[in-house]
Amino acid sequence: MAPKPRVRFAPSPTGELHVGNARTALFNWMFARHHGGYFILRIEDTDESRSALSYQVNLLNDLSWLGLDWDEGPQKKGSYGPYKQSERLDIYNEHLQKLIDADLVYPCYCTEEELEEERQALILSKRMPRYMGKCRNLTADERKQREIEGRKHSFRFKVQPQVIEFEDLIRGAMKFEGEAIGDFIIVRSNGMPSYNFAVVIDDQLMGITHVIRGEDHLSNTALQLMLYKAFGFVPPTFVHHSLILGKDRAKLGKRHGSVSVGEFRKQGILPEALINYLGLLGSSFTDGREVLSREEMIEGFVLERASKSGAIFDEEKLHWLNAIYIRNCKTEDLIERLKPFLEQAGYKTDAVDAKWLYEVIELVKTQLTTLAEIGSHIDIFFDDKYIMTAEAKEILKKDTACQVVKAFAEYLNTAAGNPQENYLAAIKYTKEKTGAKGKDLFMSIRAVLTGKVHGPELDKVFVILGNDTALKRLKPFTD
Ligand code: GLU
Q: Is 183 helix (H, G, I), strand (E, B) or coil?
A: coil
Distance in Å, CA 53 to ligand 1 centroid: 17
- pLDDT tens digits for 441-450? 999 999 999 9
Question: Average per-residue pLDDT in the chain?
Answer: 95
Given 3-state DSSP classes, what are the helix, strand and coil percentages for the chain, each rounded to the nearest 5? 55, 10, 35
Distance in Å, CA 381 to ligand 1 centroid: 49
pLDDT at 2 over 80: no
CB 442 within 8 A of CB 457: no
Q: What is the mean pLDDT of residues 275-296?
A: 84
User: What is the per-residue pLDDT for 304?
Assistant: 84
Tell me 49's DSSP state. Answer: T
Residues enclosing ligand 1, CB less than 6 A? 10-12, 44, 199, 213, 217
Confidence of residue 66 (pLDDT cuts 50, 70, 90): very high
Residue 385 burial by Cβ neighbours in a 10 Å radius (0-12, 13-18, 19+)? middle
What is the pTM (predicted TM-score) of this model? Answer: 0.93
Q: Is 237 helix (H, G, I), strand (E, B) or coil?
A: strand
Residue nearest to atom 10 of ligand 1 (CA): 11
Q: What is the mean pLDDT of residues 142-153?
A: 96
The domains found in the chain, sorted by start residue, are 6-85+245-312 (3.40.50.620), 88-241 (3.40.50.620), 330-385 (1.10.8), 386-479 (1.10.10.350)
Q: What is the mean pLDDT of residues 107-121?
A: 95
> 3-state SS string over 399-445?
HHHHHHHHHHHHHHHHCCCCHHHHHHHHHHHHHHHHCCCHHHHHHHH
Confidence of residue 258 (pLDDT cuts 50, 70, 90): confident
CA-nearest of 426, 382, 298 to 35 is 298
**Which are the contacts of 420, defined by CB distance < 8 A and separation ≥ 6?**
459, 463
User: What is the per-residue pLDDT for 285?
Assistant: 65
Rounded Cα distance, 218 and 144, in Å: 37
pLDDT at 87 over 80: yes
Distance in Å, CA 401 to ligand 1 centroid: 64
User: What is the per-residue pLDDT for 351?
Assistant: 87
User: What is the per-residue pLDDT for 308?
Assistant: 83
- pLDDT tens digits for 187-240? 999 999 999 999 999 999 999 999 999 999 999 999 999 999 999 999 999 999
Q: What is the mean pLDDT of residues 392-418?
A: 94
Dihedral in degrees, nearest 10, Cα atoms 459, 464, 469, 470: 0
User: What is the per-residue pLDDT for 70?
Assistant: 98
Q: From the CA of 44, give the closest atom in ligand 1.
A: 1
Residue nearest to atom 6 of ligand 1 (CA): 10
How many CB atoms neighbour CB 214 within 10 A?
17
Q: From the CA of 214, give the closest atom in ligand 1.
A: 8
Distance in Å, CA 11 to ligand 1 centroid: 5
User: What is the sign, positive or negative, of the torsion defined by CA atoms of 88, 90, 93, 94?
Assistant: negative
Rounded Cα distance, 61 and 53, in Å: 12
Q: What is the mean pLDDT of residues 52-56?
A: 95
- pLDDT tens digits for 406-422? 999 999 999 888 999 99
> For 70, what's the count of Cα atoms within 13 Å in the CB-facing half-sphere?
25
Confidence of residue 286 (pLDDT cuts 50, 70, 90): low
Confidence of residue 283 (pLDDT cuts 50, 70, 90): low
Rounded Cα distance, 347 and 375, in Å: 8
User: What is the per-residue pLDDT for 284?
Assistant: 59
Rounded Cα distance, 382 and 315, in Å: 31
Q: From the CA of 9, give the closest atom in ligand 1.
A: 8
Q: What is the mean pLDDT of residues 88-107?
A: 98
The residue type found at 350 is: D
Q: Which residues are catalytic?
A: 254
User: What is the per-residue pLDDT for 296?
Assistant: 93
Confidence of residue 179 (pLDDT cuts 50, 70, 90): confident
Rounded Cα distance, 129 and 119, in Å: 5
User: What is the per-residue pLDDT for 256?
Assistant: 87
pLDDT at 320 over 90: yes
CB 84 within 8 A of CB 45: yes
Confidence of residue 368 (pLDDT cuts 50, 70, 90): very high
CB 180 within 8 A of CB 128: yes
Q: Provide DSSP, 306-320.
A: S-SS-EE--HHHHHH
User: What is the per-residue pLDDT for 282?
Assistant: 77
Q: What is the mean pLDDT of residues 2-25?
A: 95
Rounded Cα distance, 453 and 445, in Å: 10
